[in-house]
Structure 1
Amino acid sequence: MSSPVKVLDFANPSIRTLHLTWFAFFITFVVWFSHAPLMAHIKEAFDLTTPQVKALLMLNVALTIPARIVVGMLVDKYGPRVVFSSLLILSSFFCWGFAFADSYEMLALFRFLGGFVGAGFVIGIRMVSEWFPAKQVGMAQGIYGGWGNFGSAAAAMTLPTVALMVGGEDGWRYAIAMAGLMSFGYGIIYYWRARNTPKGSTYFKPKKTGGLEVSSYRDLYFYIGMTVPLYLALAILSWRLSPTNLGLLSASATYSMYAILIGLFIFQTSQIWKVNKEHLRDGVPEIEKYKFKQVAALNWAYFVTFGSELAVVSMLPLFFMETFELGAVKAGLLASGFAFMNLVARPSGGYFSDRFGRKRSLSFLIAGLAVGYLVMARVDATWMIPLAVLATMCCSFFVQAGEGAVFAMVPLIKRRMTGQIAGMAGAFGNVGAVTYLTVLSFVDASTFFTIIAASAAVCFVIVQFIDEPAGQMQEVLPDGTVQLIDVA
């Protein structure tokens, strides 16, 4: 039986590390979404068109997809303390650049660069996995993810007030700049207070960087194939910014982006081969093996859970406005229930995973969110508003609890590559958001929810191929000594 995480036990260094780390993640989300609640002021200040606003929103998530892969590699090599501190400090400069931009081109550039802060989530996954045993890691990861994710809601609730208090036409600039200042200051605090592992523990690092180490040629081809959706998502973003859509990129720039993406895919494939060629040729010792299907299944599970969350949060206020003929403020408040569920849903998903089993919990939650989206597909003007909000929040619980269940399993695959595995799963979440939002641009809301439900049904089948983590994970110390890490 799993032990609950006692979040108020501040005498416990693991709990202190958890609080220190979820708040770092919280700040990254404040910075990442600092522009969203102030977009009306930004639109007025620069006299932006609706396509230009949409372009900014898309640029905000574009860099996050490759950034999560890169940051996953960095955290496995250098440790979460240095990488999280560096990310917070670097992101503050991107935040300030956006806050004090004097042209649309500058806004677009710094919104694109600011998407890098969205990779912060990956870092804490490795940090929390180092400080909590398998019987508690699910709930600890859920607290980290759920409470940190609340940063976007906190930005929406506080930054407009700050802008109003400062006053004047530049109030929005100082509100966003304040988020950057918070990020810079906490980056220093995190470096000062955080430690990569408990005293006496070893921080295992990959033998090589550039890609995941896999255990067979079959897994190598599987891994390369699983990188394709990441590039397709970036190609879709490029297409959305092309002259045939939002018009931010010229035709030549769009084709250049496609060429760059093909080049990056070829380069990444070569790096994956470089990392794996020697030990695959020599034969991977049994002690080093793991199944890549575990990683792939969790990627698709996060595609459905976090991907649908990002997409639905983006469209839900407008859905309530149009369905029930509500004002923008009231519709926004009703729709906010979807994001608020993060505070309890994601930790609950982690706890279910610790308590009732990883595969069983994830299967149940994926099935639940499929049913939830089918119910939401039936919401129309004939529904009572409280009932529609209840359906939304119930669906949201399964979505975000599912996210918690995914990352309850991520640290139990291969400890020394947890950052990279988390980075790939996190990137697939963003791929899901791009995919679902692209679908939404072609269909109505009811069809949109139905398509998400159908994709969740497919994901339910995929999850059945997961092997329940059992026994112990084996890592080799630099002196050749084998260390066993419980995963059950």
Structure 2
Amino acid sequence: MDASLAAQQPLNRLNIFATKGVQMRTFHLTWLTFFFCFFGWFGIAPLMPLVREQLHLDKGQIGNIVIASVSATILARLIMGKLCDTIGPRLAYTILLGVGAIPVLTIGLSNSYESFLLFRLAIGIIGASFVITQFHTSMMFAPNVVGTANAVAGGWGNLGGGIANMVMPLVAAGFVSLGYVDKANSWRLAMVVPGVILLLMAALYYKYTQDTPRGNYADIQRNAAVKSQGTFMVALRDYRTWILGLAYGACFGIEITIDNVAAVYFVDHFGATLVAAGMLAGIFGFMNIFARGLGGVVSDRAGRAYGIQGKWMLLGGLLLLEGVGIAAFALAPSLPLAIAAMLVFALFLKMANGCTYSIVPFVNTKAIGSVSGIVGAGGNLGAMLVGFLFKSATISYTMAFLYIGVGVAVVGGLVLLLRLVLKEATETAPMALAGA
């Protein structure tokens, strides 16, 4: 194959140390941008004990804030999935970053529960960054490695939530030590940092990425059928989209819930300090550096050995193990045992995340963006629903985690059962993603 033509094709291998070529440049920029989106999305989470004290928030109000933080993402992911299919991921990401940076920069202006709730709701739109990242890596990599590429990009991006839990209390403490603000108000100034970074990433993404290996949507001849087709309805009519959305709600939906409540849980239930609780919550998120990618790698190998059905069965098994681990975490009588259980269920949860999006590109090659958006929205819908457990006045955080563990295990069993009953005989690999 001619070198110039080869440079316009999706890559059939992932070398994470490579930086040359539009495919690898886009890969590294998209996961890094996603990382900072998650950093901004969950930057306030480890600072919530300070917010709670200053704004005099009760348990129900904190629960509403947790729900709000993931609610706007549902609609945003649906919109961004469609925009990826129409205007392309480069412009979609640039728009999202510019708009999403505004509430991150200004949440420090909140002086009441109501205003803080609205800012937290608005910040949730940057969670749609995940859909664009998964779509963009799907455009840049061939079917044999797309699951691994999606999982690694997603995992390294999700790492932003864990790093935010670790770093943001230190950022706030740093502003206090420099004399810029007192401790009670330090969360306000700290949130300016991720907001500025999001604006910087918008400029970098627009300048240094392109929609496909062949060029931007505006500059290449795209398939007319793909442009005119109602990709959103095509995705909705496929039962596999719904199964994946349910599965993603049981893994990623739980992940972002824990990103939101873990620090508060460790402070209240085990008496940890703010910085220590942030570090412990950060450990959960830090596992994304390898665990989600591992899920993609194992899923791709299962696909090569057993076909697409192997990917599906792996997903169901991972969800079952995740549910058991969460239940063990809820029942842990001491902090060391809770940490151990958290590490175990975090491994299966993040592997399930990677496995889910290794299947997404195989559902419908003409509607990858819409399928990705709907499945991603399913993850946030799951987070929103379990968020009601954490706002209940009669359900403790411990019991909430126990109920979640049982529910996730049930979903894992349903995925296995549905795939055995409704096995699709004609599932095919996404050939020529770059021409979509």
Q: Is the pair's TM-score, using the shorter chain for normalization, greater than 0.5?
A: yes
1:349 pairs with 2:349: no
Q: Hey, what does 2:4 align to over in structure 1? A: none
**Structure 1 residues 446 and 95: CA distance shift in structure 2, 3 A:** closer
The answer to whether the 8 Å contact 2:319/2:408 transfers is no
How far does residue 335 in structure 1 lie from its aligned partner after superposition?
Answer: 4.9
Equivalent position to 1:31, from 24, 40, 45 = 40
Q: Hey, what does 1:54 align to over in structure 2? A: 63
- Provide, for residues 142-178 of structure 1, a one-character-per-residue CA deviation record: whole Å limited to 9, x for no partner: 0111000111112222222222222223432221112
Aligned residues: 400
Within a 5 Å distance, the mapping from 1:159-308 to structure 2 comes to 159-167=168-176, 168-169=181-182, 170-199=185-214, 205-208=226-229, 211-213=232-234, 223=237, 292-308=238-254
Within a 5 Å distance, the mapping from 1:321-400 to structure 2 comes to 325-328=270-273, 330=276, 333-357=279-303, 358-378=308-328, 386=336, 388-400=338-350
The answer to whether the 8 Å contact 1:38/1:172 transfers is yes
How far does residue 103 in structure 1 lie from its aligned partner after superposition?
Answer: 4.2
| Unaligned 5+ runs, structure 1 | 215-221, 224-291, 475-483
The answer to whether the 8 Å contact 1:308/1:433 transfers is yes
| In 2, Cα distance between equivalents of 1:211 and 1:3 | 28
| In 2, Cα distance between equivalents of 1:315 and 1:104 | 17
How far does residue 314 in structure 1 lie from its aligned partner after superposition?
Answer: 4.5
The answer to whether the 8 Å contact 1:298/1:463 transfers is no
SS of 1:296's equivalent in the other structure is helix
Q: Percent of pairs identical after alignment?
A: 28
| In 2, Cα distance between equivalents of 1:16 and 1:456 | 36
The answer to whether the 8 Å contact 2:323/2:404 transfers is no
Q: Hey, what does 2:8 align to over in structure 1? A: none
Equivalent position to 2:256, from 310, 325, 335 = 310
Higher share of residues assigned helix: 2
| In 1, Cα distance between equivalents of 2:46 and 2:33 | 21
SS of 1:34's equivalent in the other structure is coil
SS of 1:196's equivalent in the other structure is coil
Q: Which has the higher contact order (CA 8 A, sep 6+)?
A: 2
Find the structure with the greater CA-based Rg: 1
1:78 pairs with 2:93: no
| In 2, Cα distance between equivalents of 1:30 and 1:382 | 29
Provide the TM-score with structure 1 as the length reference: 0.74
The answer to whether the 8 Å contact 1:365/1:402 transfers is yes
- Provide, for residues 396-434 of structure 1, a one-character-per-residue CA deviation record: whole Å limited to 9, x for no partner: 212111111111121223333211111100111112122
1:425 pairs with 2:381: no
**Structure 1 residues 460 and 57: CA distance shift in structure 2, 3 A:** same
Provide the TM-score with structure 2 as the length reference: 0.82
SS of 2:290's equivalent in the other structure is helix
How far does residue 459 in structure 1 lie from its aligned partner after superposition?
Answer: 2.4
**Structure 1 residues 331 and 462: CA distance shift in structure 2, 3 A:** farther
**Structure 1 residues 378 and 74: CA distance shift in structure 2, 3 A:** closer
The answer to whether the 8 Å contact 1:212/1:417 transfers is no
| In 1, Cα distance between equivalents of 2:56 and 2:333 | 38
Within a 5 Å distance, the mapping from 1:80-119 to structure 2 comes to 80-119=89-128
| Unaligned 5+ runs, structure 2 | 1-10
SS of 2:232's equivalent in the other structure is coil
1:416 pairs with 2:366: yes
How far does residue 439 in structure 1 lie from its aligned partner after superposition?
Answer: 4.8
Within a 5 Å distance, the mapping from 1:140-155 to structure 2 comes to 140-155=149-164
- Provide, for residues 30-50 of structure 1, a one-character-per-residue CA deviation record: whole Å limited to 9, x for no partner: 111121122233334434444
The answer to whether the 8 Å contact 2:55/2:112 transfers is yes
How far does residue 71 in structure 1 lie from its aligned partner after superposition?
Answer: 1.4
